[in-house]
Amino acid sequence: MKKSLARTYVAFTALVGFVLTAAAPAQAALQVDITDSSQSAIPIAIAPFGSDGGQLPVDVAQVASDDLESTGLFDVFERQNMVAKPTRADQVNYENWRTSSVDNLVVGSAAPNGQGGYRITFDLLDVYQGRSIASFQINAGRNELRDAAHTVANLIYEKFVGEKGYFLSRIGYITMAKENGGLRYRLIVSDYDGNNPATVYSSRDPIMSPSWSPDGTKIAYVAFDINRGRSSLRVQDLATGNIREISSREGINGAPTWSPDGRRLAMTLSYRGNPDIYSYDLGTNQLTQLTNNGAIDTEANWSPDGNHIAFTSDRGGKPQVYRMRSDGSQVERLTFEGQSNQRASYSPDGEQIAMVQKSGNGFRIAVMDTQTNNIRIVSEGPLDDGPDFAPNGQAIIYARQGRNNELATVSTDGQTRSRLSQGGEVREPAWGPLGY
């Protein structure tokens, strides 16, 4: 019985197999599983934008190309290698671009918009399909061509990466330069790439810890007054330059950071004797002590959902990163690797924390996964400091010190880096919001 059943089954299977084999070429689609991908950067070329109104004051195509190139995600085809420089889709000989292995081509032009500004139109062409897959139009003021170029880059970036580009964001940082026989400290705000730097505050005394308000309209920072022997924690409106002093208590007034909703500032105060973290309500001016510990607690940073605050404490002996609920409860230590960890900074999605880790290799930027607590090192050291996430979470800016003082960005996987050279010593970069 069993045997005959088995035989029947075999026969049935054979029959089914036969039917499938016979039918496959005629009906069923060939199944191909794609489980891997190329690690290459995205090949793209941005042809010089045409202009109906003479030479453009800003090389829009070049600015956008530099934007994309700086991310490390794009392999931007150099202009000098272009066989042709089309400005409209109908001018493109796709075969030429295919031959050059340029998968993607951007062609566009700018024309006066009749209001003193420009109307910029451009197309994203798929070289292999031989057609435009996206068309865009941007209006820009007379002096906004650079931002328009960044916008072009943002649009392309989002098309390929799936995240908003950060090319319109701004950064704040502190420079220190010798001037007239003395040191001059400046709080600078510039485009993300260091262009258009503007001094927000300048002093012969140290300036520290700039922090962007979530809406990007204000910066909180600490200014010292050596003569008075005091430090001042303040919030400055970038548009008006107005300064609101939050705390100039005795001792430390330091390390301000904004709550995600922009209503509160976390800061470090020592007027009660020991440096502890406080929360300051900007609406009610109410000050709440969050930590009460004999050790130093400082460098608070809010999680994006506002529920937690990461901070640095040496309560365990050496500085390590801890986390507490935003009301100061449930303190837990997060870092155990390296000799010390400090300057925690949450990623925009809250899934990562960037920090400075000290080890035998010096001070390097580390990224911790908040789910697994796994840590990976993303910078080379030996004196890296002040990490802060890009507003789209795809990169981290930090300060490199040593022979060349400079700001650098690194993709969160540590794969690609770029430098934003500045004159003089530069410290404590703070990456502002997307800006659009």
Binding residues for another protein, rule: CB under 8 A, are: 3, 6-7, 10-11, 13-15, 17-18, 21-22, 24-25, 28-38, 40-42, 73, 103-104, 126, 128-129, 133, 158-163, 393-394, 411, 413
Shortest spacing between CB 39 and another protein, in angstroms: 9
- CB contact set of 321 (below 8 Å; sequence gap of 6+): 310, 311, 312, 333, 334, 335, 341, 342, 344, 353, 355, 368
Minimal distance, residue 3 CB to another protein, in Å? 6
Return the number of the residue (9 or 336) whose C-beta is nearest another protein: 9
Instruction: Give the shortest CB-429-to-another protein separation in angstroms.
Output: 22
Which residue lies nearer to another protein by CB, 21 or 80? Answer: 21
Closest CB to another protein among residues 104, 253: 104
Nearest to 212 by CA among 232, 177, 231, 187: 187
- Shortest reach from residue 73's CB to another protein, in Å: 5
- When the beta carbons of 162 and 423 are compared against another protein, the nearer one is 162
Q: What is the 3-state secondary structure (H, E, C) of 366-409?
A: EEEECCCCCEEECCCCCEEEEEEECCCCCEEEEEECCCCCEEEE
Query: Smallest distance, Å, CB 59 to another protein?
Result: 26
| Smallest distance, another protein to C-beta of residue 398, A | 19
**Contact between 182 and 393 (Cβ < 8 Å):** no
Give 23 or 226: the residue with its C-beta nearer to another protein: 23
Our CA angle for 91, 96, 97, nearest 5°, is 85
Residue 41 vs 331, nearer CB to another protein? 41
**Nearer of residues 165 and 172 to another protein, judged by Cβ:** 165
Output phi, psi for 266, to 5 deg: -95, 145
- Give least dist CB 395 to another protein, A: 11
How wide is the angle at C-alpha 245 spanned by C-alphas 274 and 195, nearest 5°?
105
CB of 158 to another protein, least distance (A): 7
**Nearest to another protein of 359, 416 (CB atom):** 416
Residues 203/243, Cβ–Cβ less than 8 Å: no
Tell how far CA 273 is from the center of its chain.
37
Least distance (Å) between residue 14 CB and another protein = 5
Which is nearer to another protein, 281 or 351 (by Cβ)? Answer: 351
Distance CA 426, CA 328 (A): 33
> Closest distance between another protein and the C-beta of residue 44, in Å?
10
Q: Which residues contact 269 (CB under 8 A, 6 or more apart)?
A: 247, 249, 251, 252, 253, 254, 275, 276, 278, 287
With CA atoms as reference, report the closest residue to 46 among 17, 81, 90: 81
Phi, psi of 140 (to 5 degrees): -135, 145
Q: Tell me whether residue 41 or residue 383 sits nearer to another protein (CB atom).
A: 41
What pairs with residue 178 in β-bridges?
183
**How many of the other CB atoms lie within 10 Å of CB of 162?**
7
What are the angstrom distances between the C-alpha of 396 and each of 410, 411, 412?
A: 5, 6, 6
Q: How far is the CB of 354 from another protein (least distance, A)?
A: 16
How distant, in Å, are the alpha carbons of 174, 188, 191 from that of 197? Answer: 11, 6, 7
* SS3 assignment, position 335: coil
Which residues pair with residue 333 across a beta bridge? 322
- C-alpha to C-alpha distance for 388 and 396, rounded to whole angstroms: 5
**Complex with another protein: residue 202 or 412, whichever CB lies closer:** 412
